[in-house]
Structure 1
Amino acid sequence: MKRSLFLLSIMSCLCVNTFGQQKNQYVKIETPQGWCIVKLFNETPLHRDNFIKLVKSHYFDATTFNRILKKFVIQGGDPDSLYEKGHTLKPQQKWLAPEFADSLYHRRGMVAMGRDDNPTQSSFTTQFYIVDGHTWTDEQLDAISQKYKVNFRQAHRQVYRTVGGTPHLDQHYTVFGEIVKGLGLIDKLTSLQVDQAGNPAIPVWMKLTLLTPKQAAAALK
């Protein structure tokens, strides 16, 4: 009996260690303008698993980047109207509880989920965006901190001052991934002709592929 309990304890520890060391998964996003590789964060398992499920089902392959706003975000997955009241949601279209992590913030190249103004700050399951943003001064960050109730780490401030991003979205929209290769795709997409609402003159299709560990390793070389 004692031996069985001892073995069970070892197995439990191994399971915890394995979970704690879970490897990140990667998705390739292809567009007419080029491609990028996105690393999905294990700190946001609900958003990660939802995104992977939709990628595997090729849901995003029938959608576009429908809203491109230079110095802000590149949004795709579906138009806002699909979630407006009076419309019937598709099975994939629902809301996810927010997963905010202090270490995951809106620096340039991060990937997050869109939402409406619901009080719980829950995410749309099918609408995601890539952060473009711009650089900010300390005075501007102080104003954002006060207005949006966000406390910025000094390391985050340094990134916002030098690399840029959209700091006012921190702790209000769930960040679940980041571009780790092909960051130049942002500049290519934001250089496209769009109307005042950010709608591209020519639709920007997308194709998303979940990479195997071997494919990810080769792509990131």
Structure 2
Amino acid sequence: MIRKLIIFSLIISSFTSCNRVSKDDSHYIKINTDKGDIIIKLYNQTPKHRDNFLKLSNENFFNGQIFHRIINNFVVQGGDPSTIIAKPDSLYGNKDSGYLIDAEIIDSLIHKKGAVGMAREGDDINPEKKSSGSQFYLVKGKVYTNEQLDDLENKRDSKNKNNLYKKLLQEKISSLKNQKKVDTVSISLNVSIAIDSIWEKYPKYKFTEKQRKIYTTIGGIPHLDGNYTVFGEIVEGQNIVDELSSVNTDKNDRPLKDIKFNISVVK
């Protein structure tokens, strides 16, 4: 009798899982690990990232790779093809599919717990925020207080103000490039004096009510919003990500014991 109940329960569970995947027009992929499967819904709002991930998955691009970067309460990251033949104690994360994807950053698609995003190079060499062609991350994150979110808003504004200062300074210096001598000290001082009145007219960064509700309850990584493309979310297996997030790692955030994975298209 117990065996029959277990089998029946497994059938119901399987049916529920399949029904959840098939009841909309979204595409789904499955990440298979030794610890269990993770089912991810790919957003139709980010078609370039969706189609690229489906293409790579169908080509078995990810199969045999390892999660080369795991940071507790932050992310689980993979997508470096060189990790298929990973060597002990080696640093990975510098390789990908060999091309970039145009950013598809959408305000409503945020870094809540369970979100899936694409890694990228920093703004200094990638100001357009283009995504890596294959390196992705699964969001674990953490729960924030409203006071912590206030602090993140202030930090974002400070960074934006500093970037505006650099832009204005560079524009001013460039406009005087034909002069024999340019007094950069005086120019810098004048821009510094003018920046406050200019900054007052700029809109300040504010988390929406939706973001605040999610980050103070479910959690996530709010400071990544607006900087990286979120192209999907975990619909099953978040507990697997939670477990992976807590594994022991070395000084480069690589797990001490390799965690291999395969990715296939479910729908």
Smaller-chain TM-score range?
0.7 to 0.9
Question: How many correspondences in the alignment?
Answer: 183
**CA deviation digits over 1:60-93, x for unaligned, max 9?**
113211111011110001132226xxxxxxxx32
TM-score for both structures, normalised by structure 2: 0.66
TM-score for both structures, normalised by structure 1: 0.79
5+ residue gaps, structure 1: 1-21, 84-91, 213-221
> 2:71 aligns to what?
69
8 Å Cα contact 2:39-2:235 kept in structure 1: yes
Q: Compare the two structures and name the one with the higher helix fraction.
A: 2
> 1:82 aligns to what?
95
> 1:181 aligns to what?
236
**CA deviation digits over 1:47-70, x for unaligned, max 9?**
001111100000011321111101
Tell me by how many angstroms 1:211 deviates.
0.9
Distance 1:151 1:59 in 2: 39
**CA deviation digits over 1:141-181, x for unaligned, max 9?**
12212323543110110110111100000010000000001
> 1:151 aligns to what?
206
Could you say which structure has the larger radius of gyration?
A: 2
User: Alignment partner of 1:126: what SS?
Assistant: coil
> 2:42 aligns to what?
40
> 1:208 aligns to what?
263
Residue 182 of structure 2 is aligned to residue 169 of structure 1: no
> 1:190 aligns to what?
245
Provide the identity percentage: 41
Tell me by how many angstroms 1:127 deviates.
0.2
Residue 117 of structure 2 is aligned to residue 102 of structure 1: no
Distance 1:191 1:146 in 2: 30
Give the AA of the match of 1:115: R
> 1:57 aligns to what?
59
Tell me by how many angstroms 1:191 deviates.
2.5
- If asked which structure has higher relative contact order (CA below 8 Å, sep 6+), I would say 2
Q: What value does the CA root-mean-square deviation take over the aligned residues?
A: 1.4
Give the AA of the match of 1:77: G
> 1:10 aligns to what?
none
User: Alignment partner of 2:94: what SS?
Assistant: helix
> Which of 121, 127, 139 is matched with 2:129 structurally?
121
**Runs of 4+ with >3 A deviation:** none
> 1:141 aligns to what?
149
Distance 1:134 1:102 in 2: 20
Distance 2:215 2:51 in 1: 29
User: Alignment partner of 1:188: what SS?
Assistant: helix
User: Alignment partner of 2:260: what SS?
Assistant: coil
Give the AA of the match of 2:219: G
My pick for the range that moved more, 201-210 or 170-179, is 201-210
> 2:215 aligns to what?
160
Distance 2:265 2:144 in 1: 34
Distance 1:121 1:187 in 2: 28
Give the AA of the match of 1:153: T
**CA deviation digits over 1:101-135, x for unaligned, max 9?**
11100000100000011111110011000001111
5+ residue gaps, structure 2: 1-23, 81-91, 158-204
